[in-house]
Copies of this chain bind each other. A is one copy, B any other.
Amino acid sequence: MPSAKSPLTSNPLAIIAPGGRIGILGGGQLGRMLATAAAELGLSCHIYCPDEEAPAADVAAAATRAAYDDAEALARFADSVDVVTYEFENVPAETARILGEHAPVRPGALALATAQDRSVEKNFLASHGIPTAPFADVDDEASLEAAVARIGTPAILKTRRFGYDGKGQAKIANPAEAHAAFGSIGHQSAILEGFVPFEREISVIVARGLDGKTAAYDPVENVHKHHILDRTFAPATLASALAGEARAIAAKIVDELDYVGVMGVEMFLLPEGASPRILVNEVAPRVHNSGHWTQDACAISQFEQHIRAVCGWPLGDPKRHSDAVMTNLIGDDANDWQSLAGEPGLAIHLYGKAEARPGRKMGHVTRLYPLGTLPPDAVR
């Protein structure tokens, strides 16, 4: 088992063998769960993040605390690892470029550029015939007015960049609200998205390997609370043709991006009779909160799957052995750890964060059920 860094990175397509080291940008819970998954495969991790509190660093062989624009620290970091990946999609392009001169960065620049900008993302999807909500670019008052005229209301104005968990969004119920909505997001470049009367939100966690093979977990249903994911039901209650369509859409996206790694694809399911029934809402070029259930309900978790992909290993089998309901522990929810830990059939995951601020993701729990027995009353 070679543990050498040098022979591997000389070829950007090389496989990272056991003993190799993975660099992870970001020190939060996703990096932490990636690091423990890597450890199970005999790999070690080096965490790079600017924050003093970095839950991922507690389970990593090395950690660098530096800014994402510190070119020297980035180069040293990338030189010390066999491959670089990340736990968040807003990695600056310049950061990725510097890292890429020293080690392969997976997923690559195209995935980052596409996922960081809602307009680029939507145009990418449309250009490949993947249905989305109707959208129009908004850069100023004139294009705002044109967009409202074309898309109609109700509609949602979303900043092109750096939006997440409902941040950087404003609803426009009627044309008269457009001006104020644009002000509320600071007149940033945005897209106006037509309101879609969806029935449910579903998502697919898909992976693509270095060899181009893809593997998609079963579609799941997501329920949000205050714009933050609250619960994921695995699997989503879907006719098998629709489930197959959702998986195929996700696979098409990673194929078209020549993607390497795990991606979360969020979708809207429209009511029966609509055509198409499935629209893509957005993609996350990383492991995704709606895939946490895979840790407990599958032999191969999304975290291990991502590590396998970015290291050039064969993808794992995404089969479920159990049904599952994942519930996020937000803020004070985590204070119930003791009673949750005592609940039979429940797996508890805590992220090692010191302070339970409101809205902060502190952990999650997964309730397991035998295959095919997800209780209907658990849904919604």
Contact = CB atoms under 8 A, between A and B. Distances in A.
Contacts of A19: 352, 354
Interface string A13-33: 001011100000000000010
A57 B337 CA distance: 27
A370 B36 contact: no
A300 interface: yes
Interface in A251-291: none
Given A59-B36, A314-B342, A338-B314, A41 B348 contact: yes
A372 to B, nearest CB: 11
Nearest to A299: B347
B337 A18 contact: yes
B299 A368 contact: yes
Interface residues of A, number: 54
A184 interface: no
Contacts of A352: 18-19, 39, 42-44
A61 interface: yes
B350 A40 contact: yes
A344 B368 contact: no
A5 interface: no
A187 interface: no
A39 B36 contact: yes
A1 B334 contact: yes
Contacts of A366: 299
Interface stretch (A72-80, A89-97, A145-153, A317-325): A317-325
Interface in A111-136: none
Interface in A329-380: 334-335, 337-338, 341-342, 344-354, 356, 363, 366, 368, 370-371
Given A39-B32, A314-B338, A350 B18 contact: yes
A313 interface: yes
| Identical chains in the assembly | 2
Contact of A59 (B35, B347, B354, B368): B35
Contacts of A59: 35-36, 39, 59-61
Contacts of A338: 15, 313-314
Contacts of A337: 1, 17-18, 42
A345 B314 CA distance: 13
A82 interface: no
A58 interface: yes
The winner among A341, A349, A353 for most chain B CB atoms within 10 A is: A341
A41 B349 CA distance: 5
Contact of A3 (B36, B57, B354): B354
A104 interface: no
A1 B41 contact: no
A307 to B, nearest CB: 11
23 contacts: A1-B335, A1-B337, A1-B356, A3-B354, A18-B352, A32-B39, A39-B58, A41-B348, A41-B350, A42-B337, A42-B351, A42-B353, A58-B61, A59-B59, A59-B61, A296-B299, A299-B346, A308-B341, A314-B342, A316-B341, A321-B321, A321-B370, A370-B371
Given A18-B337, A57-B61, A299-B347, 12 more contacts: A1-B335, A17-B337, A18-B334, A18-B352, A36-B40, A39-B59, A41-B349, A58-B61, A59-B59, A313-B341, A314-B341, A317-B345
Which 3 pairs show the lowest CB-CB distances between chains A and B? A42-B350, A314-B342, A317-B344
